[in-house]
Amino acid sequence: MVSGASDANTPPIVSLVAGGVAGGIEAFTSYPLEFAKTRVQLRNQKGIPTPKNPFFVVTQVYQKEGLRALYKGCSALVVGSVGKDGVRFLFFDQIKHAFADPETGTLSPLRNLAAGMTAGVVASITAVTPSERIKTALIDDARNERRFRSSLHATTTIWKEHGISGLYRGFVGTTLKQASATAFRMGTYNILKDYEKKRDIQQNTLVNFANGSVAGTVTTLATQPFDVIKTRSQSATGASTVEAVKSVLLDYGIRGFWKGTTMRLGRTVFSGGILFTSYEAAVKVILPLYEGTKRKVGVETA
């Protein structure tokens, strides 16, 4: 089960709030690595080697542009992650409960992946694509034109120039990435927890972090091409999915679709651990409050 704090049915509101809290914490703490990965994936000059060490890129940007530059576009990602992970955990928990074996309370590996994929599609439509578009546009814009003053300014500018379609630039690539990433991330984590549950392995912060890190590694290696296409589509100028694919092939060939893998891996191993550990901790705090409020309301209305 995703929710170690409540291996029975997790109430939808608890899944939503705990997922949102976990998403916000994960996005903020790991943002400098996300910033470095995005910069590497955006078009660079040919003949100039691309750094693979995310800490090298972070250090360079910090020295040349300051700390604020490393968090350019962070607010958009945090807001998007609160919505994205709230929705992902909400739908994953509900889908998981609907398809779980009534006797064991577990899912088969394929059903785990299918539940995650469905949750990823919903998250992409409701929260991820617009927030990723703004974040990527801000990071790209900071390299050259610097016409966007903030996340809000970038949002209003893109809306005025391109309408809602501008905010959903890269929707196909983002949805493919989210569907596959959520399937692998949530599915792998849940598979590991079910395996541990069958063998009575005690769930604690260290185990949750390790499970999340493994899930992050699997997710990165399996979905990197979608992430590269999404980043190219959502640059400051924007591009269609087909144009993004062509630009990657022209710049780097097939290997270009795994551009930034090392950097993304560094982030997802860390962020996967943070995300699921934060979620488990949030559920442990929120669930008793929810149940206490529910009992109080029941007493007052009785």
CA–CA–CA angle 25, 218, 235 (5° rounding): 65
pLDDT in tens, 224-269: 888 888 888 877 677 788 888 998 899 889 988 888 788 778 778 8
pLDDT (mean) for 284-295? 91
Residues 6+ apart with CB under 8 A from 266: 33, 54
Q: By C-alpha distance, which of 262, 106, 274, 264 is closest to 205? A: 274
155 is a domain residue:
yes
Q: Which domain holds residue 227?
A: 12-301
Give the CATH number of the domain where residue 105 resides.
Answer: 1.50.40.10
Query: In terms of C-beta density within 10 A (0-12 exposed, 13-18 middle, 19 or more buried), how is residue 81 classed?
Result: buried
Residues 6+ apart with CB under 8 A from 194: 1, 106, 107, 112
pTM beyond 0.75, yes or no:
no
pLDDT attached to residue 208: 93
pLDDT attached to residue 161: 93
7 is a domain residue:
no
pLDDT attached to residue 7: 46
Does residue 99 register a pLDDT over 60?
Answer: yes
pLDDT in tens, 44-86: 655 666 666 777 888 888 898 888 888 887 888 898 899 889 9
One DSSP character per residue, 70-106 reads: HTTTHHHHHHHHHHHHHHHHHHHHHHHHHHS-TTT--
181 is a domain residue:
yes
Under the banding of pLDDT at 50, 70 and 90, the label for residue 213 is very high
pLDDT attached to residue 169: 87
2 is a domain residue:
no
Q: Give how far Cα 261 sits from Cα of 27, 133, 228, 271, Å.
A: 18, 20, 9, 15
pLDDT attached to residue 46: 59
Q: What total number of domains does the chain contain?
A: 1
223 is a domain residue:
yes
